[in-house]
Amino acid sequence: MSELSRKTTLSYNQIAGQSVERLAALSDGVFAVAMTLLVLDLRAPAAEIVHSEQDLWRALVGLTPRLVMYFMSFMTLGIFWVGQQTQLNHVQRSSRSLTWIHLAFLLVVTIIPFSTALLAEYTQYRVALLVYWINILSLGLTLYWSWICALGSNLVKNEIPVHVSKAIKRRIGIAQSLYALGALLCFFNPYWSIALIFLVQLNYVIAPMFGRPRND
Amino acid sequence: MSELSRKTTLSYNQIAGQSVERLAALSDGVFAVAMTLLVLDLRAPAAEIVHSEQDLWRALVGLTPRLVMYFMSFMTLGIFWVGQQTQLNHVQRSSRSLTWIHLAFLLVVTIIPFSTALLAEYTQYRVALLVYWINILSLGLTLYWSWICALGSNLVKNEIPVHVSKAIKRRIGIAQSLYALGALLCFFNPYWSIALIFLVQLNYVIAPMFGRPRND
Amino acid sequence: MSELSRKTTLSYNQIAGQSVERLAALSDGVFAVAMTLLVLDLRAPAAEIVHSEQDLWRALVGLTPRLVMYFMSFMTLGIFWVGQQTQLNHVQRSSRSLTWIHLAFLLVVTIIPFSTALLAEYTQYRVALLVYWINILSLGLTLYWSWICALGSNLVKNEIPVHVSKAIKRRIGIAQSLYALGALLCFFNPYWSIALIFLVQLNYVIAPMFGRPRND
Amino acid sequence: MSELSRKTTLSYNQIAGQSVERLAALSDGVFAVAMTLLVLDLRAPAAEIVHSEQDLWRALVGLTPRLVMYFMSFMTLGIFWVGQQTQLNHVQRSSRSLTWIHLAFLLVVTIIPFSTALLAEYTQYRVALLVYWINILSLGLTLYWSWICALGSNLVKNEIPVHVSKAIKRRIGIAQSLYALGALLCFFNPYWSIALIFLVQLNYVIAPMFGRPRND
């Protein structure tokens, strides 16, 4: 690059992607669409196979595995939406680099409907489970990376105490270790993998509700 | 859980999911997508069956049942969007628990397009109607739960008078009783169920417009 | 309704649906999804009919009518988004009634992708054009109604001058008259209808750009 | 137009489309939906061709070209989202003209999922690549136009230094020259075109992360 264009780049860097509000708004939009698209995999049973109340009931019961996958992926999206929100609440302004790390995070979010559909269709295959796990792992990595970047570039609000930052990092580490453990189980049995990942997620969802006396 | 990880969890609890604004933005996104996805069930008639103005007219008239279901589900979404908005307007900040209850509410919202398509396809079956009713019931329960949680965790704005809180709770109670009554009718005739639920919703939509002199 | 429940209703009326910000956010979401869903009607040509650059070129040229319909509907959505924005910018708070009128407006917005697909498929049929026109008419009527309601319920900001309110109303009146004229032409020839409606919309889009010296 | 209606138009011009916030919210919505719709082209392999882990693995490897296209289009959307955000951050209020130029920009954004699907399907055809390039070119042109309009109509914040405005314009010029060069390569070989466009985009995404010492 010539001197001229390099100077332009630097200058553009200094003005581009500063708005945390717009980053949050785009993220809410992507999460909202991904959460709602997940349901497109739940389809009303075909009319040809339904001739009575019992047929319809049985067809709906047959949708249970897809429903379980749907719950699991909705929890995944919810967990990472809360995680990203928690970070962005502590960031005072964005930078072009931080914006792009969050865009990478959103890219991985948009792939969740695909890997969910894959796992719902091929629950018994290890490959499908590993794709799903890589998707969750990538969510964790990009989110961890974005926090490191925010800290390193002094984009975090001043008043944030050290232990908050540690909590954010340790949180991602522990959760990802449990997910990796779950993924490892697939070499034993893919269904056990799904069960463990499901339970880990459920724990993150429900646990805060039973610790209230101490944390409010 | 070890002492270490429990302390992390508590700490993370205290910083996670605090933003009412982002919760509202995510909710608006989910409702917007769900409302617009509903229309994907309305499709232009197939070109093979349309050879004249009369054919097209007849094909469009044949879409009426789907259009009625579409109106009904749009009203459902509208009613619960107004209900959630009313609650969140009185909440000053969120907590991780409250955020997750609202995410559960949004999960139920995203299922509306599925249960609508099911009922549009199998209007004459009680099972389809009961699924639809369980969906509406879950919307009411999660919304009621979120209000109880907001009150219990002192997340509600200070100036809110007692009768407002009572109005919010009683409102959900009365509406859900009427929906349950409508659902019960399906053991008699599913069409009567739909008619009653439709009328109850229409009442909630239209009634405020005729009480203006007294409430403004 | 018993005295008790009526009092609840009134009380709920006074607290429900007050937020202009959330109404605006929901509207932006619905418009954004509707605008993007329109493009789902543009599909890559089927691989079976494309064996050379010329085939692909010809297949793309064959998409032109759909592209024109797409532009037309995007303009429709844009015009009414600007129209609603202009109104809401002058509203200081919402009411339950005003919220529901805007939800009715959004319901009509979500039908645009359907009536667009219908008109793209059946361009030569008067019925398709009349459905499209009724859709545009309903957008105008609900938007007009919402302004009347906002004025009547004193929800409009105080400083708004009388001529602004007149401009908003007259604007809708003139535009809808031109659309109605366009729709009438369909009894002569549906293509002339589309051409006139397209030109009316283009005028509303492009005209402001050539009146700048005077309006800034 | 009569004197009367012309006066109305001017008056409506002065009040319509003023809100930068709503323009930003609509844009975030359109980008979020477009980004998430892209993934609908990634489908789980059909059950008929998958009978073992190896089959599934091979089917997923077969999705790689679509995945590459997906990354490329996500980067395109990200680059132009950052570009538009950077502009709007420096605009203090909108006008009806500026709003419509941004709506034209959003129209072009919604076409990206279509031109992506086209290029993924017909990677070896020059016509598909030229359509994709025209799409990117249109994004650049509308964004450049919107900045010219914002400057010309005095809608830009006062404190903005001259070199920022120059950086915004030069940035678009350089990027579009590189894209045009990439597009030209298609007369030699379409795959080289895609490779160059991909690299140019990757540069814009990754470059800011390695210039940090100087720009923070």
CB distance B82–C97 less than 8 Å? no
**What's the mean pLDDT when you consider all of chain D?**
85
User: Cα–Cα distance between D156 and A205 in angstroms, integer?
Assistant: 45
The mean per-residue pLDDT over the stretch A153-161 comes to 78
CA of D128 to nearest chain B CA: how many angstroms apart? 28
pLDDT above 90 covers a percentage of chain D that reads 37
Other Cβ atoms closer than 10 A to C49: 11
Confidence label for B204 from pLDDT (cuts 50, 70 and 90): confident
Q: What is the pLDDT of residues A69-102, one digit of tens each?
A: 899 999 999 999 999 998 898 888 888 889 999 9
Q: Which residues of C touch A29 (CB under 8 A)?
A: 29, 32
Does the pLDDT of residue B9 top 70, yes or no?
no
CA distances from C138 to B65, C31, C105, C109, C132 (A): 20, 16, 8, 9, 10
pLDDT above 70 covers a percentage of chain A that reads 91
Chains sharing 3 or more CB pairs under 8 A with chain C: A, B, D
Q: What is the dihedral of CA A76, A81, A82, A83, to 10 degrees?
A: 90
CB distance C211–D13 less than 8 Å? yes
Query: Cβ neighbours of residue C169 under 8 Å, at least 6 residues apart?
Result: C144, C147
User: Residues of A at the C interface (Cβ-Cβ below 8 Å)?
Assistant: 29, 32-33
User: Cα–Cα distance between D13 and C164 in angstroms, integer?
Assistant: 10
B22/D164: higher pLDDT: B22
Q: For residue B81, which of B126, B133, B139, B120 has the smallest C-alpha distance?
A: B139
Q: What is the pLDDT of residue B38?
A: 84
Decide: A99 and D82 in contact? Cβ < 8 Å: yes
Nearest Cα residue in chain B from C27:
B32
CB distance B16–A174 less than 8 Å? no
CB distance D32–B29 less than 8 Å? yes
CB distance C16–B86 less than 8 Å? yes
User: Cα–Cα distance between B216 and C154 in angstroms, integer?
Assistant: 9
CB distance C14–B71 less than 8 Å? no
Residue A156 pairs in a beta bridge with: A91
A126/D208: higher pLDDT: A126
**What's the mean pLDDT when you consider all of chain B?**
85
Q: What is the pLDDT of residue C142?
A: 95
Decide: A190 and A126 in contact? Cβ < 8 Å: yes
C3: Cα within 13 Å, side-chain hemisphere? 0
Apex C121 CA angle, C119 and C123, nearest 5: 50
Structure tokens at C125: 């049929």
Helices (H) and strands (E) in chain A, counts: 9, 0
Residue C91 pairs in a beta bridge with: C156
User: Residues of D at the B interface (Cβ-Cβ below 8 Å)?
Assistant: 29, 32-33
pLDDT above 90 covers a percentage of chain C that reads 36
Helices (H) and strands (E) in chain D, counts: 9, 0
**What's the mean pLDDT when you consider all of chain C?**
85
Q: What does the radius of gyration of chain B's CA atoms come to, in whole angstroms?
A: 21
The mean per-residue pLDDT over the stretch B90-119 comes to 92
Query: Cβ neighbours of residue C194 under 8 Å, at least 6 residues apart?
Result: C68, C72, C119, C123, C129, C182
Confidence label for D215 from pLDDT (cuts 50, 70 and 90): very low
Q: What is the pLDDT of residue B11?
A: 63
CA of C101 to nearest chain A CA: how many angstroms apart? 24
Q: What is the pLDDT of residues A162-186, one digit of tens each?
A: 777 888 888 888 889 999 998 888 8
Q: What is the pLDDT of residue C3?
A: 43
Confidence label for A49 from pLDDT (cuts 50, 70 and 90): confident
Q: What is the pLDDT of residue B210?
A: 65
Which candidate in B22, B30, B33, B35 is best for mutational testing of the D interface (most D CBs within 10 A)? B33
Q: What is the pLDDT of residues C78-133, one digit of tens each?
A: 999 999 998 898 888 888 889 999 999 999 999 999 999 899 889 889 999 999 99
Q: Which residues of B touch D32 (CB under 8 A)?
A: 29
Nearest Cα residue in chain C from A26:
C29
Q: What is the pLDDT of residue C66?
A: 87
The mean per-residue pLDDT over the stretch B186-211 comes to 84
Does the pLDDT of residue C144 top 70, yes or no?
yes
Confidence label for A216 from pLDDT (cuts 50, 70 and 90): very low
CB distance A117–D85 less than 8 Å? no
Q: What is the pLDDT of residues D7-61, one digit of tens each?
A: 455 567 777 778 889 999 999 999 999 999 888 878 888 888 888 889 999 999 9
Does the pLDDT of residue D4 top 50, yes or no?
no
Instruction: Specify whether the backbone of B17 is left (phi greater than 0), alpha (psi in -120 to 50) or beta.
Output: left
Q: Which residues of C touch A35 (CB under 8 A)?
A: none
**What's the mean pLDDT when you consider all of chain A?**
85
C156/B161: higher pLDDT: C156
CA of B100 to nearest chain C CA: how many angstroms apart? 20
CB distance B85–C19 less than 8 Å? yes
Q: What is the pLDDT of residue A109?
A: 96
The mean per-residue pLDDT over the stretch A106-119 comes to 92
Q: For residue A60, which of A48, A46, A80 has the smallest C-alpha distance?
A: A46
Does the pLDDT of residue D216 top 60, yes or no?
no
Decide: C169 and C160 in contact? Cβ < 8 Å: no
CA distances from D112 to B211, C131, D175 (A): 48, 29, 18
Q: What is the pLDDT of residues D50-85, one digit of tens each?
A: 888 899 999 999 888 888 889 999 999 999 999 999
Q: Which residues of B touch A147 (CB under 8 A)?
A: none
Residue whose pair of structure tokens reads 């009427």 in the numeric block: B178
Q: State whether the Cα torsion A45-A46-A50-A53 is positive or negative.
A: positive
Q: What is the pLDDT of residue A4?
A: 46
Confidence label for D164 from pLDDT (cuts 50, 70 and 90): confident
Nearest Cα residue in chain C from B168:
C12
Does the pLDDT of residue B5 top 60, yes or no?
no
CA of B23 to nearest chain D CA: how many angstroms apart? 15
pLDDT above 90 covers a percentage of chain B that reads 36
Other Cβ atoms closer than 10 A to D93: 16
Q: What is the pLDDT of residue B167?
A: 83
Q: What is the pLDDT of residue D33?
A: 94
Query: Cβ neighbours of residue A78 under 8 Å, at least 6 residues apart?
Result: A205, B100, B103
Confidence label for B23 from pLDDT (cuts 50, 70 and 90): very high
Decide: A96 and D82 in contact? Cβ < 8 Å: yes
Q: What is the pLDDT of residue B211?
A: 56
Other Cβ atoms closer than 10 A to D124: 10
Cα A216 to the chain's mean position, in Å?
A: 26
SS3 D171: helix
User: Cα–Cα distance between A101 and A112 in angstroms, integer?
Assistant: 17
CB distance A32–C29 less than 8 Å? yes
CB distance C209–D97 less than 8 Å? yes
Other Cβ atoms closer than 10 A to A184: 12
Does the pLDDT of residue C211 top 90, yes or no?
no
